[in-house]
Structure 1
Amino acid sequence: MANTTVRGAQAIHGQNPQFLVETVIRNRIYEAPFWKEHCFALTAESLIDKAIEVKAIGGVYGNNKPTEFMCLLLKLLQIQPEKEILLEYLQADEFKYLRALAAMYIRMTFGAAEVYEILEPLLKDYRKIRLRNMGGYSLTFMDDFVDSLLHEERVCDIILPRITKRDVLEDNGEIGPRKSRLLDAMEGKVEKDRSRSPSGSRSQSRSRSPSRGRGVSRSKSGPPSDAGSRYVSRSPSGSRGGSKSPYRSRSRSVSPDRINGGSERFRSRSRSISPDRMETTPG
């Protein structure tokens, strides 16, 4: 009686849920000591305690001996817990092997659209988990395990039921586009690059250029006398500018009056002899 499916269980993919496990492996599980000692009369609640004690995932090892993970998976197929209970298994972040067990069961029993919607968020889980197979133990990651459930045909020595590809479901409108953290990060990086691109700097420079032009025009739009007086010809000129310039001509400009006055001075200084003196001088 311990190997029979619970009463009222629904057929999965048109058959008994236990038949999803191959006959050879299923018979090995029935003969395993762990199945006989620890999996008898388990319920959806008591199975959590056993799943917490699991140390690795996998199918069979050694001489085709089933792992504890595979025994608990077959027990889930027997008792067929409700969907809400399975979602609670997945939300238990501290128990990674319980999450892996629930993910494996959901992949084997749920429809294609629900599988993608429920398991794809688990691709963000990067924790390490142990994998036990014929070659011994090895390390893998939770996201790799979930990705293999979504894309590979055989996981943990179990042939998985076929599901419709995601792109087909998207074309039929049964599921929305996938939300990828990597794609979101790349889009955010592209937006940052666009904001830092030369086009953005050009637009900023164009927006700032009128103010700069105004400042230059204001500085140059001063009184013309100042600008012209800064550069005054140093050659002598007859007239000075109308405004006082900071750079005055160093050459002294002489007016015509001064020139005439100066000649008269020099003329007055020269000794002039009157006609009387010229006549009185002795011959």
Structure 2
Amino acid sequence: MTHRADAKYMIDERGYEGELVRGQNPALLMEKPVRERIFDSYYWKEQCFGLNAATLCDRAVEMTFIGGTYGQGKPTPFLCLAFKLLQLKPEKEIVMEYLNNEDFKYLRALAAFYVRLTFDPADIYKTLEPFLSDYRKLRRRTKTGFALTYMDQFIDDLLMKDRVCATSLWKMPNRQQLEDLELLDERVSPLGEELDEIDADEIGEPPSQGSGKGSESEDDMEEEEDVKRTSHARLDVEDTIENHNGSFHD
């Protein structure tokens, strides 16, 4: 696909011939006012031009916070990159490469947001629920400043809320409905072992030696750029693209 300075052509239904998400152009999953703010933003024009699934990693690992819009409606880099992903519509294997990267928590958060927007309901639960045990801290950009949240809370918001990061999320069936339809197995809580240990303490039995949730990660400085780790993350994505013969361009 030829690079174009004006990305609005991607939301023109008359010329769109790409893959659909629930019957519509994925770029239309964000509301029109948000899209317009993204198109007008400096970050979109200067940092998102010409990105593909591999080079987007370079931008994503530079992020230091999540969020939707702030101030007078200015979009965050997180929201701009999420929209770029909607335009690129990478293969599932590429998205999972982003999501399973342990070194860059904001890359994981971006991939999780994309999963919630584009995957089918059962796959959303299967893909995101394992990360409810990721307790690392995240900075969240608000209208007036910054707030502290955690990865597990962000994942829970994606699964439970109707609006996250200035984006209305499509209403999907709840987990119980999918279990009743036998599309999901009953979820086993990662806190089960801890609860067993608490019960054992109450009746005087020695606790098991298994590790529980553990202390919160202290890697609050991950957002500082580490060139070697960044290169490794990008190479992983490039290898996945090559293995699946994928070539993604703006």
Q: TM-score, normalised by structure 2?
A: 0.74
1:113-262 matched pairs, under 5 angstroms: 113-190=122-199, 196=205
Does 2:78 correspond to 1:80? no
Query: In the alignment, which of 30, 37, 43 is matched to residue 28 of structure 1?
Result: 37
Q: Secondary structure at the match of 1:5?
A: helix
How far is 1:192 from its partner?
6.8
Larger RCO, structures 1/2 (Cα 8 Å, 6+ apart) = 2
Distance change (3 Å), C-alpha of 1:196 and 1:62: closer
Alignment match, 2:10 = 5
Larger Rg: 1
Q: Residue type of the partner of 2:116?
A: R
Q: Deviations over 1:12-70 (max 9, x none)?
A: 12211111111001001001111111111110000000001111111111111111110
How far is 1:189 from its partner?
4.3
Q: Residue type of the partner of 1:168?
A: Q
How far is 1:180 from its partner?
1.0
Q: Which runs of 4+ in 1 moved over 2 A?
A: 4-9, 187-197
Query: In the alignment, which of 14, 18, 27 is matched to residue 18 of structure 1?
Result: 27
Q: Deviations over 1:79-125 (max 9, x none)?
A: 00010011110111110110000000000000110000010011111
Distance 1:182 1:85 in 2: 30
Does 2:58 correspond to 1:49? yes
Distance 2:205 2:106 in 1: 45
Alignment match, 2:225 = none
Q: Deviations over 1:142-183 (max 9, x none)?
A: 110000000000001100011111011111111111121112
- Cα RMSD over matched residues? 1.9
How far is 1:184 from its partner?
3.2
Q: Residue type of the partner of 1:54?
A: M
Distance 1:147 1:16 in 2: 26
Q: Secondary structure at the match of 1:134?
A: coil
What is the percent sequence identity of the aligned residues?
Answer: 45
Distance 1:173 1:184 in 2: 26
Contact 1:5 1:79 (8 Å CA) reproduced: no
Does 2:90 correspond to 1:89? no
